Amino acid sequence: MAIVMRFVQRFQASKKQEFMDLEKQFAQLEHRGILPKGERMTPIAGREPGNTLIWEGRFESLRAAEEALKTLETSAQHTDLFQKQVPFFQDAWVEFYEVLDF
């Protein structure tokens, strides 16, 4: 059963550049294989406001998604960047979706 894990992060609109500069550093860690890889999106139209960043990753199972979360929790590089980025957050949450294979 494939799983999509999403991090939804609403940030201070006035701090968009600073937030995105840090997000680029997270992406670099993904490209280097240090963090799990995902895709980043910002809304054009939809429920979430424009000052929202969505990171989405696909995993082969719920266990694999949970392992990815553990990687984030134990990564010193992730923790360092997260501590710099979290002051810009207004809200954040994690979502899990089961991919339906009809």
| 29 band by pLDDT with thresholds 50, 70 and 90 | very high
pLDDT at 60: 97
* Confidence class for position 82, pLDDT limits 50, 70, 90: very high
What is the C-alpha to C-alpha distance for residues 32 and 51, in angstroms, rounded to an integer? 27
Taking residues 72-85, what's their average pLDDT?
Answer: 96
Give me the mean pLDDT over the 16-33 stretch.
97
Q: Measured between alpha carbons, how far is residue 88 from residues 49, 63, 71, 73, 75 in Å?
A: 15, 30, 23, 19, 21
Would you list the domain boundaries of the chain?
3-98
Architecture of the domain delimited by 3-98: 2-Layer Sandwich (3.30)
Per-residue pLDDT band for 56 (boundaries 50, 70, 90) equals very high
